[in-house]
């Protein structure tokens, strides 16, 4: 009897797996919404999935635990849809963006993105952010020439933080001329400067 019950459970599991792969099934649509199909990623890493919109599919956007995420957005790109769940509800419509050097993995800076900045970053592969102090979009390097070419985008487990892996043009991400904005290290009760500036900000940011 125990063996027969186990066999029935396996049969149900196999049926569920087949159902997930069927076109038009809820599970198949959720797979498209979650962006886990590596074959359609604009960055080649399976982070994104292009397909019909969530509104067209009739499927509510859900997080990895299956819970409906009220703040999740579908970002249109080049007339199609990038099926990425992002939660803009926690920071007044903004997402923190951590920026890493593509080769070394060093953390270069932290900025913020709104929906438009994220869309433009995906479209152009140039890091684009939202300035809270100026209240507008800005493309990294538009004044200094030190652009960030985006090689990979990752989203954290709560879908409220973005990680960009970039090639940093000019070698310096910090507006003070350093490679990283995190050029000061805490040692005891002091801040110690590490590294040397790669450019003079007074010369680069002349008004």
**Does the annotation place 56 within a ligand binding site?**
no
Q: Which of 90, 76, 160, 149 is nearest to 119 (CA)?
A: 76
d(CA 42, CA 152): 9
**Does the annotation place 80 within a ligand binding site?**
no
**Does the annotation place 106 within a ligand binding site?**
no
What burial class does residue 77 get, using C-beta atoms within 10 Å of its C-beta: 0-12 exposed, 13-18 middle, 19+ buried?
middle
Residue at 105 is within a domain: yes
Helix (H) / strand (E) element for 55: namely helix 54-57
- Look up the CATH number of the domain holding residue 168: 3.10.20.810
What is the domain count for the chain?
2
**Does the annotation place 63 within a ligand binding site?**
no
**Does the annotation place 160 within a ligand binding site?**
yes
Residue at 176 is within a domain: yes
Domain shared by 67 and 142, yes or no:
no
d(CA 198, CA 105): 19
pTM for the complete prediction? 0.61
Domain shared by 142 and 76, yes or no:
no
Residue at 88 is within a domain: no
Domain shared by 17 and 106, yes or no:
no
Residue at 87 is within a domain: no
Tokens read off for 9: 């459970």
Domain shared by 193 and 102, yes or no:
yes
Tokens read off for 99: 């920026």
Three-state secondary structure call for residue 121: helix
**Residue 44 lies in domain:** 2-82
Q: Per-residue confidence of the chain (207 residues) as pLDDT tens digits?
A: 555 555 555 555 555 545 544 444 443 333 333 343 433 444 444 444 333 333 333 334 444 444 445 555 544 444 445 567 799 999 999 999 999 999 999 999 999 999 999 999 999 999 999 999 999 999 999 888 899 999 999 999 999 999 999 999 999 999 999 999 999 999 999 999 998 999 998 888 875
């Amino acid at each position: 009897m125990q063996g027969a019950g186990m066999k029935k459970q396996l049969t149900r599991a196999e049926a569920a797996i087949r159902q997930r792969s069927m076109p038009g099934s809820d599970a198949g649509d959720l797979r498209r919404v979650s962006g886990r199909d590596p074959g359609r990623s604009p960055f080649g890493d399976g982070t994104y999935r292009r397909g019909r919109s969530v509104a067209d599919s009739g499927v509510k956007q859900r997080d990895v635990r299956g819970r409906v995420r009220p703040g999740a957005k579908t970002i249109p790109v080049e007339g199609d849809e990038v099926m990425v769940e992002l939660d803009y509800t926690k920071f007044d419509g903004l997402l923190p963006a951590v920026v890493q050097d593509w080769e070394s993995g060093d953390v270069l800076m932290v900025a913020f993105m709104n929906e438009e900045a994220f869309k433009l970053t995906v479209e152009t592969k140039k890091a684009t952010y939202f300035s809270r102090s100026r209240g507008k979009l800005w493309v990294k390097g538009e004044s200094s020439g030190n652009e960030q070419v985006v090689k990979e985008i990752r989203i954290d487990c709560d879908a409220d933080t973005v990680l960009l892996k970039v090639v940093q043009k000019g070698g310096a991400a910090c507006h003070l001329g350093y490679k990283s904005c995190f050029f000061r290290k805490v040692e005891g009760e002091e801040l110690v400067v590490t590294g040397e500036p790669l450019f003079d900000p007074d010369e680069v940011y002349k008004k």
